[in-house]
Amino acid sequence: MGADLTVSTGSLKQIERTSTADTAYRAIRTSMLSGQFEPGSQLVEARLAEALGISRGPVREALGRLRDEGLVEEILHRGMFVREFTVSDVVDIYNLRVGVESVAIRLATRGRADTAILRTLQDEMQAAAVARDVALVTERELGFHRELCVASGNQYVLSTFTALSGQIQMAVAMDNAAYRDLGDVPREHGPLIEAIEAGDEDLAARRITEHILGTIDTLLERRAGDDRAREARARLLRTAR
């Protein structure tokens, strides 16, 4: 019997599967964050696989990653669903943002961080606002706040923000959807840049807190009504740390 000339493709299959799962993850995540999949809607593996033109395995892996990221909920015997954020979730996320981003902007200000990339992102936000592209405004806004964390020079600030960036983006998207004038979003970021450039870290911390919490009252009322919104507001950190 001749030598076995069968070539093992184990490694090649693993690379292809990982690549496909990554592609599925990015595609589904983008659709969720852009609002194409409504909160609470079911994510059916077979339908997603058919739409993406791939098998169900990579879709299953992608959904598992999204579940671990906190963007998808798995309900026993029912399946996977786009996470619905409660008012408590929103308050918790925004409180975390106040804490992390106040530290980030203080350190960026103290370190005299270069603000060129922040101004570029502000300009891109403005262009997206003119085009009435809420999803792109939100994406560029998240990029702005991530760059603040990069500018802090603190890897733990950045890793904390990055780990929760999907949930932050979902909350910001809900917030931005309520703006009557999307141009207000990029305009609100100008004073943050100015405070950094002025080297005034106390002012920068106050402004980032005001910016993060500036429209949350309206968001809470829209999602919960007056009574529950009042309870939720009582838990908000209104002072820069």
Tokens 């000339």 appear where? Answer: 5
Above 50 in pLDDT, residue 9? Answer: no
Structure tokens at 146: 């991530």
Chain segment 94-105, per-residue pLDDT in tens: 999 999 999 999
Q: Helices 134-151 & 116-130, crossing angle to 10 degrees?
A: 170
Same domain, 47 and 71: yes
> What is the rounded average pLDDT for all residues in the chain?
87
Domain tally for the chain?
2
Better pLDDT: 118 or 229: 118
- Assigned domain for 4 exists: no
In sequence order, the β-bridge partners of residue 80 are: 43, 74
Instruction: Give the distance, in angstroms, between the CA of residue 241 and the centroid of all CA atoms in the same chain.
Output: 22
Element of type H or E holding 75: strand 72-75
Judgement on whether residues 78 and 184 belong to the same structural domain of the protein: no
The pLDDT score that the predictor gives to residue 8 is: 45
Q: What is the spatial distance between Cα 240 and Cα 49, in angstroms, rounded to a whole number? A: 45
Pair 102, 58 in one domain: no
Shared-domain flag, residues 161 and 143: yes
Decide if 91 is inside a domain: yes
Q: Which residues pair with 72 in a beta bridge?
A: 82
Q: DSSP letter at 50? A: H
CA distance 22 to 193: 35
Inside any domain, residue 206: yes
> What is the domain-level CATH number for residue 28?
1.10.10.10
CA dist., res. 200 & res. 194, Å (int): 9
User: Is 200 part of a structural domain of the chain?
Assistant: yes
Q: What is the 3-state composition of the chain as percent helix, strand, coil, each rounded to the nearest 5?
A: 70, 5, 25
- Look at residue 239 in the predicted model and tell me its pLDDT: 60
Mean per-residue pLDDT, 79-105? 91
Instruction: List the domain range (segments joined by +) for residue 117.
Output: 87-233
Do 112 and 29 sit in the same domain of this protein?
A: no
Residue 4 has what pLDDT? 53
DSSP H or E stretch at residue 74: strand 72-75
What is the rounded average pLDDT of the residues 118-137? 94
Do 39 and 63 belong to one domain?
Answer: yes
177 in the same domain as 99: yes
The partner residues of 81 in beta bridges, in order of sequence, read 42, 73
Mean pLDDT of 66-73: 91
Q: Helix axis angle, 134-151 relative to 165-176, nearest 10°?
A: 130
Domain boundary (50, 82, 114) is at 82
Q: Which of 57-71, 98-112, 138-152, 171-185 has the lowest average pLDDT?
A: 171-185
Average pLDDT over residues 10-37: 73
Mean pLDDT to the nearest integer, 102-126: 97
Whether residues 22 and 100 fall in one domain: no
Q: Are residues 96 and 195 in the same domain?
A: yes
Greater pLDDT, 2 or 205 = 205
7: pLDDT strictly greater than 80: no
Written as one letter, the residue type at 129 is A
- State whether 118 and 161 are in the same domain: yes
Residue 159 has pLDDT above 90, yes or no: yes
> What is the pLDDT confidence band of residue 62, given thresholds at 50, 70 and 90?
very high
Rounded Cα gap, residues 193 and 116, in angstroms: 9
Is residue 12 very low, low, confident or very high in pLDDT (cuts 50, 70, 90)?
very low
Supply the pLDDT for residue 140. Answer: 94
